[in-house]
Amino acid sequence: MKYSYMYCLIFLALSLLTAFTPASSSNGLDGPFYDSTAYTECRAEAEKPLYNGGMLKDQKPSVSGRDSLTGIGARYTPTYILHNLTQNTIYCFSIWVKIEAGAASARVRARLRADNATLNCVGSVTAKHGCWSFLKGGFLLDSPCNQSILFFETSNDDSKIQLQVASASLQPFTQEQWRNIQDYFINTARKRAVTIHVSEENGESVEGAEVTVEQISKDFPIGSAISKTILGNIPYQEWFVKRFDATVFENELKWYATEPDQGKLNYTLADKMMNFVRANRIIARGHNIFWEDPKYNPNWVRNLSGEDLRSAVNRRIKSLMTRYRGEFVHWDVSNEMLHFDFYESRLGKNASYGFFAAAREIDSLATLFFNDFNVVETCSDEKSTVDEYIARVRELQRYDGIRMDGIGLEGHFTTPNVALMRAIIDKLATLQLPIWLTEIDISSSLDHRTQAIYLEQVLREGFSHPSVNGIMLWTALHPNGCYQMCLTDDKFRNLPAGDMVDQKLLEWKTREVKATTDDHGSFSFFGFLGEYRVGIVYQGKTVNSSFSLSQGPETKHVRLQI
């Protein structure tokens, strides 16, 4: 039987991809494969260690006084002594933790003391008395370390708390191995094999037909915030539309923008921005209905309490959601509620959950999100640990059957820890809800080239994680720059971060494919998920069609007649 060269390549690639299982080493990758396993329920028994323990296989923890580790206090903690850690290696760490005595529950974080520095948090978990909780994280080192100490702290720093640990694992990955693993996930989660069949009306296969395939839209949205500065700014609009198919309004939908004075609603800017969105067939996230941080609420709202505040809240939801019903694919309903509690402190515990119910009643098709910072950026912020996020979601799900549909992770990074980022998303993925990186940027404390390097790390991590559904950059352009990171200067000349984003947008889109059908009348290729246009030319005849490529394990077959 005769196959085209392209078909053989596709068959070989599929064989390599589908033959792999995490327990197997014959996966076409050099070294171990990343284990996405995560647990979020407290268990009677600890599970077996990931990677069979990795570097910690058969190593038992010692118990050391914390004063010998950090110079603080005298409490004792389980510790692991690590030898010969290398620079730029990605270390994935996991362990099961249980409180033996001293408290019913406590937040526990793993720390690493190396030769020249201490990493404040390489993973955290809410541990409980009497059952085992799973901590998953990781770290990278800027320089090699001959000997380092991995130890644990509790949030309340109670010397009476006694911890027990089990099934520890530390697995190293080289940068090349990590990148290859990311590519594997991209190829399996973001792409799919396609075979186009061309036949005559009588069903006879057509050999030698010229096939042109072009991707016209992508299934995975990558977008950027915009602000009112885009209105009337043709160069900015052209620069934006050339790149992005998704957006979010930076400030123009926030309560302080739409109703700065009580009863005086003003949607002028938001309406104009929505016209721009519609005209260019862009999808948009709604940000936000309420912000729990008091300083970002209108002055007049901060002075309300009781029924007056409740009435104002109800009017806000009705006005905003009715005006834009069906326009926004998402709404950040209660922004940063892990860190702040403006409404709940005035309207009662769980008052914010009522916002979700009211928003759902008006716009039942919009996906409703929690949205918060320092969830994937770090595990040092005790208000927004991954377990705190999961606990709030589950609490909402138990509250009178109210639904929350999406997980919003802001992603304001300084130095990304990709091992920790992936581990946290693994745990969030157990909720089986859409996950979006909603406000990605890199701190302005870094130079432009470092911003670009770190941004690529974050984007690759997000795009390659199968549970992430979209990415939004927090890069709206203003006359004085951007919130933290710009992609372009005021003349729309790309900065290094902009060049990197352009590179990723091109890399993660199927380029135009031209080929001829083989003796079976077929042509095969791998394509990124999305919408496609296909053209067939044969003996002076032309046929144009289109097809959708959605996620699936099987080859997509497209049959055309000419």
At a CB cut-off of 8 Å and minimum separation 6, what does 269 contact?
228, 231, 252, 257
Q: What residues does 226 pair with on adjacent strands?
A: 249
- What angle in degrees, to the nearest 10, is found between the helix axes of 496-507 and 448-464? 20
Token pair listed for 543: 């046929």
In the annotation, is 439 catalytic?
Answer: yes
- What angle in degrees, to the nearest 10, is found between the helix axes of 386-398 and 418-429? 20
Distance CA 426, CA 375 (A): 12
Using a 10 angstrom Cβ sphere, with 0-12 exposed, 13-18 middle and 19 or more buried, the burial of residue 302 is middle
Active-site option among 250, 252, 336, 461: 336
In the annotation, is 507 catalytic?
Answer: no
Strands (E), 244-337: 246-249, 283-291, 330-335
Amino acid letter for position 528: F
What's the count of helices (H) and strands (E) in the chain, helices before strands?
14, 24
Using a 10 angstrom Cβ sphere, with 0-12 exposed, 13-18 middle and 19 or more buried, the burial of residue 410 is buried
Amino acid letter for position 524: S
Active-site option among 153, 388, 410, 439: 439
- What angle in degrees, to the nearest 10, is found between the helix axes of 234-243 and 496-507? 40
- What angle in degrees, to the nearest 10, is found between the helix axes of 306-323 and 351-362? 30
Which is nearest to 55 in space by CA: 119, 132, 148, 118?
Answer: 148
DSSP notation for 454-495: HHHHHHHHHHHSTTEEEEEE----BTTB-SS--SB-TT-PBP
Strands (E), 338-493: 367-372, 406-409, 412-413, 435-442, 468-473
Annotated catalytic residues are: 336, 439
